[in-house]
Amino acid sequence: MRQFLKMTLASCLGVFLAGVVIFFFGFVMIAALISSAAGSGSKVAVPTGSVLTLDFTTKIPEHKNNISSRSFSFKEEDIPGLHDIAGLIRHAATDDKISGIFIENGTGGLGASSSKVILDALEEFTASDKFLAAYGDFYTQEGYYIASPADHITLHPVGTVDFRGFASYVPFFKGLLDKIGMDVQIYYAGNFKSATEPFRRTEMSPEAKLQTREYLGDTYSLFLSDIAEARHMDVDSLKSIAWGFQIKSAEDALSHKLVDEIGSKADCEMWMNSKMGKDPLNKIHFVTIDEYAAVTPAAPVNTKSKNKIAVIYAEGEIVSNRDDYGVIDDGRYVKLLKEIRKDDDIKAVVLRINSPGGSVLSAENIYRQLVGLKADGKKIVVSMGDYAASGGYYIAAMADSIFAQPNTLTGSIGVFSIIPNPSRLLDTKLGIKFDTVRTGPYSADFTVFFPWSERENNYMQSRTEAYYEMFLNKVADGRHMTRDAVHAIAQGRIWSGERAVKNGLVDKLGDLDDAIESAATLAGIEDYKIKEYPVFQNPLQKMITDLMDRNTPSSSAVSALVQSQVPQVMEFWSAVQSGEPQARLPWGLSGIK
């Protein structure tokens, strides 16, 4: 009894102390949030003659704040989405306070289709009487693509422009798995479904090489043609430069007219001052895109109509029971679509998809709600981003109309399953064996503790093929094609947006604005408002909400918070990501005070 009371009192004391810690931590966080909100209320100064700065090295979500991870900070603010940034660039062209735009990093980081969205907005900006300048210590091909419309491109004297063409790299693990005795059960439907090849082959299959060569070639052709137009060069000259690896230094980039000046960032600033008619050494007032977003009001909606078009952003992997940012959780999207179905003022839906796919079950759950929404009389138009493939195409197939960018990757209509089986490794390498007693012939089937029998493999393959048939029929119904016609262009094959238009998987080439205009036409409305979904909190607000929603602290949440605060870890990761030589102290020394 004494031991029981002792344990009970200890438990109560532990709960009490935990409650105090949680309360204190929560109080500090809420106070910080209030302080942050108060600070964000003060407007950023944008005096006349300001220069808007763009830096695309950080991850940019399709939709505002929809980003899976970001370092913790009490000063976290809203993160503009891809289309917000494009809109702000266009707005800056008519803003009297903005004299020009400065792209201040050459490494890029956006996907091919996302880069095209930004490039098109910058091309429109250059039609104004304002300047567009760019500076880079080094230009990757992605970074140079975005910088190419600039009136003046400056490159650091020891930098260069990486201009060698595109390549795709695929690691293969079968040799390693064989060496360690690890088996992998693989089931797939579709000769082009190459996602499983790294675990069952030692090199790319002919089918994988064919589809990769096609979509890589399509993407590269658009890359060259856009740069040729921006730099007033011809495609053949650019192709020759890449094939001959003629850009090895800053001097090479200048002589081949890929850049306009070799110099420092200060030299580029002097050029900008000259364009503004100011002293070359004048201090320029720069405004970041985040700051500009905070002070730029949304375009006024000049309509009294109740009609609405819902724009739903579906970005990331398709998953289940992961209600997080940067993924398409079926629970969240099913609930959202049910709400939209009940709103009679919403006449049409534009589904913006940027997803490589994911769970078949989750995709099916979202698909069913979209079918129901369509049955309710609401028109559905899909707009594709960098990817709308596999499960991403699954949820797109039933739309009334589908738009894609020329360099969108789509299709990949196929299914696969990968199940690791360590039984041989455990037996031969570690000497661990398993035995079993069964109540029936199938009781111990489908376990990773035993090698799989032919009947187990046959069952899993038949299930995979059944899912594939379901996928084919979904596409056939949505695209008004026969099952066999879909199968001929499916089999897991990836298509560029340009080729997808030709084979019937996509209706038209166009961006998000084109899809919205199409939705309005299909719904028969001219006067309407845009309503965007889902609504995401900024990172700090989300963290506070998560803390307040939890009754007890989770070890994973504490671990994530601690990790985000360890500067050595963050510095190490940043250096690894940069891929550049480092001139710095050993990791850890910078954390010593």
pLDDT in tens, 210-227: 999 999 999 999 999 999
Quick one: pLDDT band at residue 553, thresholds 50, 70, 90? Answer: very low
Of 89-98, 173-182, 573-582, which range is least confident? 573-582
Q: What's the Cα-to-Cα distance from 57 to each of 76, 105, 107, 115, 174, rounded to whole Å?
A: 18, 7, 6, 12, 34
Does the pLDDT at position 387 exceed 70? yes
Do 286 and 140 belong together in one domain?
Answer: yes
Is the pLDDT higher at 540 or at 575?
540
Q: Taking the CB of residue 466, how many other CB atoms lie within 10 A of it?
A: 12
Q: What integer pLDDT is reported at residue 90 of this predicted model? A: 96
Percentage of the residues of the chain whose pLDDT score is greater than 70: 81
* φ and ψ at residue 152, rounded to 5 degrees: -150, 120
Which DSSP symbol is given to 589?
G
Which H helix or E strand runs over 360?
helix 360-375
Same domain, 277 and 331: no
Task: Please name every residue paired with 136 in a beta bridge, in sequence order, or none if there are none.
Answer: 155
**Cβ-count burial of 559 within 10 angstroms (0-12 exposed, 13-18 middle, 19+ buried)?**
exposed
User: Which of these ranges, 51-60, 401-410, 484-493, has the smallest mean pLDDT?
Assistant: 51-60
Considering the domain boundaries, does residue 173 fall inside one? no
> Does 417 score more than 70 pLDDT?
yes
**pTM score, two decimals?**
0.82
Q: Which helix (H) or strand (E) holds 331?
A: helix 330-342
Residues 102 and 156 both lie in one domain: yes
Residues with catalytic function: 193, 390
CA distance linking residue 98 with residue 109, whole number of Å? 25
| Domain match, 381 and 259 both | no
Question: What is the per-residue pLDDT for 546?
Answer: 52
Predicted pLDDT of residue 53: 97
Q: Is residue 359 part of a domain?
A: yes
**CA-wise closest residue to 347 among 308, 301, 303:** 308
| Amino acid at site 497 | G
pLDDT in tens, 271-293: 999 999 999 999 999 999 999 99
Tell which wins on pLDDT, 563 or 326. Answer: 326
Q: Is the pLDDT of residue 266 over 90?
A: yes
CATH of the domain at 79: 3.90.226.10
Residues 266 and 398 in one domain: no
Query: In the structure, what pLDDT confidence band is assigned to residue 209 with cuts at 50, 70 and 90?
Result: very high
130 & 69 share domain: yes
pLDDT score of 337 more than 60: yes
- CA–CA distances in Å: residue 408 to residues 58, 110, 147, 239: 21, 13, 21, 22
In DSSP notation, 295-330 reads: HSPPPP-------EEEEEEEES-EESS---TTSEEH
In this structure, are 485 and 396 located in the same domain?
Answer: yes
Q: Are residues 268 and 394 in the same domain?
A: no
**Tokens, residue 180:** 């360690």
Helix ranges (H only) for 137-193 are 141-147, 174-180
Please give the Cα distance from 472 to 483 (Å, whole number).
6
Residue 590 has pLDDT above 80, yes or no: no
Read off the pLDDT of residues 458-471 as tens digits, 9 standing for 90 and up: 999 999 999 999 99
Tell whether 585 is covered by a domain: yes
Rounded alpha-carbon distances, angstroms, from residue 102 to 131, 263, 398: 8, 15, 42
Counting the structural domains of the chain, the total is 3
3-state secondary structure of 37: helix
Domain boundary, last residue among 230, 263, 295 = 295
Chain centroid to CA 5: how far? 55
User: Residue 159 above 70 pLDDT?
Assistant: yes
What share of the chain in percent tops pLDDT 90? 71
Structure confidence at residue 556 (pLDDT): 42
Q: Is the pLDDT of residue 385 over 70?
A: yes
Whether residue 577 is contained in a domain is answered as yes
The angle subtended at Cα 189 by Cα 368 and Cα 334, nearest 5°, is: 15
What average pLDDT does the segment 404-424 reach? 94
d(CA 290, CA 295): 9
**pLDDT (average), residues 152-180:** 95
b/e burial code for range 356-384 (CB count within 10 A of at least 16 → b): bbbbbebbbbbbebbeebbeeebbbbbbb
Helices and strands in the chain: count of H runs, count of E runs: 22, 18
Secondary structure, 3-state, 444-506: CCCCCCCCCCHHHHHHHHHHHHHHHHHHHHHHHHHHCCCHHHHHHHCCCCEEEHHHHHHHCCC
**Would you say residue 467 lies in a domain?**
no
Per DSSP, helices labelled H in 376-438 are 391-394, 423-428
User: Residue 534: is the preceding peptide bond cis (ω within 30°)?
Assistant: yes
Where is average pLDDT lowest: 211-215, 242-246, 384-388, 585-589?
585-589
Q: Cβ of 143: how many Cβ atoms within 10 Å?
A: 24
pLDDT score for 536: 73
- The helix or strand, by DSSP H or E, that contains position 532, with its residue range, turns out to be strand 529-533
205 within some domain? no
User: Per-residue pLDDT for 545 more than 70?
Assistant: no
Rounded to whole angstroms, the Cα distance separating 593 from 590 reads 8
479 token code pair = 């695209």
Quick one: tokens of 185?
């059960």
291 occurs within a structural domain: yes
- The pLDDT-based confidence of 305 (bands split at 50, 70, 90) is confident
Fill in the amino acid letter for 341: R
CA–centroid distance for 136 within its chain = 24
By the 8 A CB rule, do 106 and 139 touch?
A: yes
For residues 254 and 321, membership in a common domain is answered with no
pLDDT of residue 270: 97
User: Do 375 and 255 belong to one domain?
Assistant: no
In a domain, 587, yes or no: yes
Per-residue CA distances from 419 to 305, 310, 312 (Å) = 53, 39, 33
Tell me the one-letter amino acid at 160. Answer: T
pLDDT in tens, 483-542: 999 999 999 999 999 999 999 999 999 999 999 999 999 999 999 999 999 987 655 555
Q: Is 539 exposed, middle or buried (0-12, 13-18, 19+ CB in 10 A)?
A: buried
Structural domain that includes position 85: 50-163+247-295
Amino acid identity of residue 394, one-letter, is: Y
Angle at 175 between CA 170 and CA 180, to 5 degrees: 130
- Within 8 A by CB and 6+ apart from 445, the residues are 453, 455, 456
Q: What is the mean pLDDT of the chain?
A: 85
Considering the domain architecture, whether residues 83 and 112 belong to the same structural domain is answered as: yes
Question: What are 78's two structure tokens?
Answer: 């809203």
What does the pLDDT read at residue 137? Answer: 95
Quick check: 67 pLDDT over 90? Answer: no
- Quote the crossing angle between the two packed helices 82-92 and 112-126, to the nearest 10°: 10
**Same domain assignment for residues 78 and 151:** yes
